[in-house]
Amino acid sequence: MSARRLATMAVAGALLGACAPIPRPAVLDELEHVRAGAVAAESKRYAPGAFARAEKLRGEALAALDKKDRSGAQILGEHSIAAHAYAHALSRVARAEAAETEAKAQSSTSEASLAGLEAEQARVAAEVDALDMRIKVARDAQPVVPSGKADADREKARLAAARSLALQARLLCGAARLLIAPTEPAAAQPAGAQPATTQPAGAQPTAAQPASADLVAQLDAATAAIRKLDAELAEIGGSARAIPAPIDQASRARAGCLATLTAARRAATPVTRAPGAGDALLAELSAAGTWSPVRDDRGIVVTLRGLFAGNALTKAGEARLRDLARVAAAHPSFPVAVVVHTDRDVSSREEPAWSARADAVVRALGPASGASAAGASPATQPIAPFIAGSAAPVVDPGGTERARNARVEVVFVTPETL
């Protein structure tokens, strides 16, 4: 073959090689696979900015390939894959944040729904309590069926019950007096006397509005019934002959005092106001975990024992009463009754000592104690001492634990109707 022919074939081969397309880099195929997957769709939704940058790099890689710049297409394709990986990472973060936001929204909705259910439950519970109390008041107000004759043991039991009912009547009428006439001064009274309240000089009552003449008359009638009952009980106690116990009169006296207390509450409570102050105080005392409060017809009751060493308050007793005084100062609409129970009958000679103990508790619960630690203004609710004697034991008065009958009840008289 001549040299000229060889040269012609070389030139032709060079021209054919220049016209052939350059091989497509494998990274571009990998890039297309990435773009076709679910990851890219997720990136486009949650990280559109990063996804757009990755697509821009892909377009530049394809443009470089069209310009026969294989190296540039390789590098730009790798950058596009890296940009897609970055967009995927951002999309995962954005998706997690969106899920967190949705979860918080659902939690807020659930909490709001739960709060609404709890409020509805509390309202229904209050209505049930109110209905129970109204049924109880109505039942107690029913005419008393006269009691028939009984044997000696039965009459003895009736006498004990009559004395207990008489005490309950005095305490209920005392609670009513705290709401109807809270400014009357008094000291601790023995079990058979009519108690009133003690209040700081110049203090303004916060637990009661001016009482109507009908309420005052109703209270006077109820206390007159108690005085008559006390006279009958005293006659029985001093008589050597068997006299029927005034159990019917005692039941009527208690019902009369409860009706008066209920009327006082209804007169002071606007019909548009839902009950709840007593519930709030009961919940607060219960949450403290140290008082074990209970509710009875008078209000919220906290029972304390071991307050005295002789006739003086112990340091621990003073501390307990100071804590309770702070609660009283925070709820000035509740008058406070201090009821001292004994573990045995109190003689006339012992009455001054028990009255001194009751007065000591009243002083410890007074305005100075209620405001000292909290720094609040002094409590202005009236505080009344009562000597209950041994008419309301909680354990067998003749048993080995009879000392438990000696106790002090601090009663927060509920000012509102239930």
Q: Is 105 exposed, middle or buried, given 0-12, 13-18 or 19+ CB atoms closer than 10 A?
A: exposed
DSSP bridge partners of 301: 294, 411
Mean pLDDT of 278-303: 93
Q: Which is more confidently placed, 91 or 270?
A: 91
Encode pLDDT of 142-151 as tens digits: 555 666 666 7
C-alpha dist (Å) from residue 47 to 83, 104, 150: 11, 22, 93
C-alpha dist (Å) from residue 165 to 168, 262, 321, 397: 5, 18, 28, 17
Predicted confidence at residue 20, as pLDDT, reads: 55
Q: Is the CA virtual torsion 142, 143, 148, 151 positive or negative?
A: positive
Alpha-carbon distance of 135 to 144, in angstroms, equals 16
Q: pTM for this one?
A: 0.61
C-alpha dist (Å) from residue 78 to 32, 75, 82, 304: 12, 5, 6, 82
Domain ranges for the chain: 19-101, 130-413
Predicted confidence at residue 403, as pLDDT, reads: 92
375 has pLDDT over 80: no
Comparing C-alpha atoms, which of 24, 16, 118 is closest to residue 62?
24
Predicted confidence at residue 41, as pLDDT, reads: 84
- Is the domain spanning 130-413 CATH 3.30.1330.60? The answer is yes
Q: Contact 173/261 with Cβ under 8 angstroms?
A: yes
Contacts of 53 (CB under 8 A, 6+ apart): 83, 87
55 has pLDDT over 80: yes
Please calculate the CA angle 254-257-259 and round it to the nearest 5 degrees: 105
Predicted confidence at residue 4, as pLDDT, reads: 61
Q: Contact 162/150 with Cβ under 8 angstroms?
A: no
Contacts of 81 (CB under 8 A, 6+ apart): 27, 30, 31, 34
Phi and psi at residue 301, to the nearest 5°:
-115, 130
Mean pLDDT of 107-133: 77
Phi and psi at residue 384, to the nearest 5°:
-120, 130
